Structure formats: C-alpha cells, structure tokens
A and B are shown apart, each in its own frame.
Chain A
Amino acid sequence: METSLVKEKVSNVLVSVLEHNNFEMHDELTAKDVDGWDSLSHMMIITKIEEHFGIKFKLRDLNKLKNMGSLINVIQSKI
C-alpha cells in the first residue's frame, strides 16, 4: 500500500477516535502533539488501526511507535 494511502487511513482512524482533526500528519508527529491522545485513547487507536488494516501488532511493536513515521513503517511492514 502506498505511504500516502496508509497515512490517510491512519488519519481517519485518529479523527474517528479523538473526534477532532486539529493535527497535521507528518513523520515527527507524536501523541503529545495531539489533543486527547493519551494512554486511554492510544489503545483504542491501536485497536482501530489493527481492524482497518487487518493486521495485529505485537506488544513489542508498540514500543517502537515513537512517532507517526515509525507507526506508518510498522504498519507497512505488516500489510
């Protein structure tokens, strides 16, 4: 899947869980930069992303998700 398409889908997931779109998708984006993206919503975001792409993260994958760039990379490595 093309990176831009993956990004778009991830962006849609964020909007649906956080109920706002006050963020810009770029590789250095982290949870801290986005309102409402805390440990609670993080789990929901992860679960939704798994559903959307039909993938399953390993617990260890979660530690690698330091920013949007690494999230996109991990997703691409699984689809």
Chain B
Amino acid sequence: MNLVADIQKSIESNLDRSSFYIAGVDYSYHKLAEIISGIRESIQKSVSNDEINIGLVCNDDIYTYASIIALWMEGKAYVPLNPEFPISRNNTIIKQANIGTVLDSSAKKVFEETNTIQTKGLTRSKINLIPKETTQGDLAYIFFTSGTTGTPKGVPITFGNLSSFIDAFWDLGYTIAKDDRCLQMFELTFDLSVMSYLAPILKGACVYTIPKDEIKYSYIFELMEDHELTFALMVPSILHYVRPYFDEIDCPNMKFSLFCGEALPLDVTEEWSKCVPNATIANVYGPTECTIFCTDYTYKREEKNKAYNGVLTIGSDMKNTTTIIVDEDYNEVPFGEKGELCLSGTQLTPGYWKNEEKNKETFFIKEYKGRPTRFYRTGDLCTVDHEGDILYLGRVDFQAKIQGFRVELSEIEFHTKASLHKMNVVAVAFVNKIKNTEIGLVIESDAFDVKQLLEDLKTKLPQYMIPTQIKFIDSFPLNTNGKTDRKKLKEMFT
C-alpha cells in the first residue's frame, strides 16, 4: 500500500463531494485539493528538502487539515502544536524535534522564533496532488505525550506504521464509504484524530469537526442528529457527560460507534446501545506507540459481553499486531493470569524520539515463535482468556487517563514541587461522581492559598493536567512497604 498515493487517488475521484464540515461550512474535496496545492507550493518555496519535521499549529479549520496532507505529499512529517498549550511546553517540543518551520493558519502567527508559513488563504487553482516519493521508514508524524521527568516525550510514527494501521483497520470490517459522515472530535495533538480524518479521506467520505468554542459533548450529539452521522470514534468520557441525556438521543443512522482511549464501562455501553440502535459498537485499544489502536472487540447486543470490574474487554489483536502478557522478567504468563501487556508488529514505533534511556526501559527483544521480536511495554495490567480476548485490569505505573489524554502523575508532581520549593506532594487520579477521572493534588503542608501554584502550573502544563482539587495533610500516610500510601491519599477525593 502507498498511503499518500491512495489519498491522492481518493481526493481526485471525489472532487465534487464534501470533504470536511467545519463550524457550519462544507468544503468539497476540490476545495481541499486547491488548498493542499497552495500550501505545497509555499512549502516548496521556503523549506529545504532535508528539513523533515515540520510544526503544525492545530486550529479547527480546513487549512490545518490541508497542511497535514500537503506535508505528507511533500514527504514531510508533522508535529502538532496546540496553540492553547503553555508556550514553554510547545517550545520544548520545537527544540526536541528540531523544528525550523511551522505551518500556522492563525490570523496572527503563534511562534515568533521559527520560520512560519501562514497557511490561511493559500490556494492554487492548478491542483497538484502527486506525492513525492517516500519510503516506509520515513516519518509521517511525531506526537508528544506526557513524560515522567517533566519533559514531554516524542513518539515518531512512520508511513509504514500508519499504512499497517490502515490495513489492519479495514480488515476489521468497520467499513466507511463515500456516502458516510464521520465524526472527528479529537484535538490534533491526540493520535485518535489521525484515524478520524484519515480513514474518511481515504474513502471520499465527509469529516465533521468540533469548533473549539463549542461545548464538545453537547455539540457532538447535535452533529450526530442534525447531520445524521454514520461513523464516530469517541472517548468514553463523552458518554459519562451525556449519560443524563441518553433518553433525548436517537441516532438510527449511526453505523459504527467506536470507543478508545479509556476504560469503557459495560453498563454505560449497554445504555448507549439504545441511542444508536442500528450501530455496531466496538471497543478498540492501543497506545500512540503502536499507531492509534491495535486491539478490537465488537460489542454483542444480544449476548453476554466479557468484562472485568465492569470494564468491557479490549478484545484481541488486530491483523498487524501481536500481543503477549508477561511477568516482571518478561516471561509470558499462563492464560488467565495477570501481567503487563506488551505489543509488537508493524504498527510499532521505531522508538521514542532521541530518548535512548526511555527506549531501553520500554522496548525489549524477546524470542517469540522462534524469532527475535521487538516488544513494547504498555504499562497496562491485563489478563487474556482462551479465546484471546484481553481484559484490562488497571495501570502498573502512575499513569492516568484524563479525557483520553495520557498523563504521567509524576510530571504534575515534578512541576508542583518546582513551584513550591521542597514541599512534598502527590498527584492522584480519582474517579468523580459522573465516573470521569480527575486529578487531585495532596500537599504535605498547612493549608495555604494555591492561586500562585495554579498559575505556575498553567504556564507549564496543558489544562487537562491541572489538578481540579487540592488538599493538605500534615504528613503522608505510609503503606506496609514504607512507601507513601497513594491509595489512602486517593481516598481523600470523591
């Protein structure tokens, strides 16, 4: 498969159809092609051939999406930069990924120190969608996720990885055709966005996005009903938000309703299935490191579904992925026993961007079916049954998921300690009343005004990583191993 050539073919054969619906405006594939061509022309003029990693300011507009396709057609990789994230975080990413050029559709450019191509208004009536040659090993994107030491870590994904994902995705049989209307609810800094725009584009379908100034979850459901969406990949936290309104939702046109990014509770899924009476519901799973998602389970409407602690199974390996569950010494555990889920296959990233230390910690080579195979440790505690369905039990480390975003609690602790000078702090992830995960912070100190602390954190961390509740305690409780009892501290929050 040549992914970028497939994009070209799809756009060229669907020029008169809608490609994107953004903030109330329909854009045809023809319009998309003109903008891509305009942006390519600009890239060719001002970016040298050996400059591969290009920053992309993520706005919700046609120019931002066209920029991604333009970069790929020019054989370049995009590194998404959220303009709402603290400038220091974005600058760290720009530095780490050696970004010299940023594509920006904002009215006023966001980054002053890089070469910025302002993409808004770029268009060219002479369409050029012929891709430059790329190899499977060339990078398609680098996404930065929360890192333990206070520095975000980069996950590079190659065109080979992405092609493997697309190949495995079509193999699931969750079809998209040119008449389909597909939801794209994710920030472009989150890799579930890639599947949400790429799969529809490859089939000439239409992508529906969420304007940044709208209340996400309520807007999604208005889109679903008013535009009769047929395909939606969402994070489960969206369901928690709208659960009180399920009886108002009726989307008989929905054909495929996929969930990813967080544990999917069985009871909510059952209730949701009535809102999308004709849809196939699926729970898919995977870390950014294994390209978007790599295991799949189709929810059964009439039969019993597999679940653990009320959490629906994440199913079994997709076509191009092999999963194993191992103990601390990387030995596979027997069926039914707990262990860390590890992934291998052609969707797996070549390794963290310029981070050998982290690579040694996270990737390992193991003899598997007679061949040395490279595996990635997910940090997810799982067990697998005889049918190959994997049940998610929890995390083995201190990572949390907030609205689908991966958060290293230690990164929050790191920046809190930096702001508070030597005070002892613990960040915990707890489940609130509507069953969404929030971040709580416990400070070992007498109570004080946290306004300054919160202001400091906001200059370092994205909004979803800012603690929503802060408590004080004289001294941290210890567990039997003499370690800070995080479980007890977690109980302080409800």
Contacts and interface: CB of A to CB of B under 8 A. Distances in A.
Interface of A: 35-36, 38-44, 47, 58-60, 62-63, 65
17 contacts: A35-B454, A36-B468, A38-B464, A40-B432, A40-B438, A41-B468, A43-B241, A43-B434, A58-B248, A59-B245, A60-B218, A60-B248, A62-B215, A62-B218, A63-B215, A63-B218, A63-B222
A43 B216 CA distance: 11
Most B CB within 10 A of own CB, among A35, A36, A42, A62: A62
Interface string B241-253: 1101100110000
Contacts of B245: 58-59
Main secondary structure of the interface of B (DSSP, over half): helix
Contacts of B432: 40
Interface in B178-196: none
B216 A39 contact: yes
Nearest to A65: B215
Contacts of A59: 218, 221-222, 242, 245, 248-249
A30 B221 CA distance: 22
B278 interface: no
Nearest to A22: B451
Nearest to B434: A43
Contacts of A60: 218, 222, 248
Majority secondary structure, A binding face: helix
Contacts of B454: 35
Interface in B445-479: 454, 463-464, 468
Contact of A63 (B214, B242, B403, B438): B214
Contacts of B249: 59
Query: Closest 3 CB pairs between A and B?
Result: A62-B218, A59-B245, A63-B218
Interface string B221-247: 110000000000000000001101100
A40 B124 CA distance: 42
Given A58-B248, A59-B249, A39 B219 contact: no
Contacts of A36: 468
Nearest to B403: A39
Interface in B193-208: none
Nearest to B463: A38
Interface residues of B, number: 24
A46 to B, nearest CB: 9
A60 B223 CA distance: 11
A35 B467 CA distance: 12
B273 interface: no
Nearest to A57: B245
Contacts of B436: 40
Among A38, A47, A59, residue most surrounded by chain B Cβ atoms (within 10 Å): A59
B330 interface: no
A12 to B, nearest CB: 19
Contacts of A65: 215
A34 to B, nearest CB: 13
A54 to B, nearest CB: 15
Nearest to B242: A59
Contacts of A38: 463-464
B217 interface: yes
Nearest to A66: B213
Nearest to B219: A63
A44 B494 CA distance: 13
A5 B403 CA distance: 35
Interface in B271-324: none
Contacts of B221: 59
A40 to B, nearest CB: 6
Contacts of A43: 241, 434
Contacts of A41: 468
Greatest chain A CB density within 10 A among B214, B403, B468 is at B468
A44 B434 CA distance: 9
A36 B457 CA distance: 13
A39 B468 contact: no
Contacts of B434: 43-44
A79 B217 CA distance: 25
A12 B113 CA distance: 44
B73 to A, nearest CB: 35
A62 B248 CA distance: 13
Contacts of A35: 454
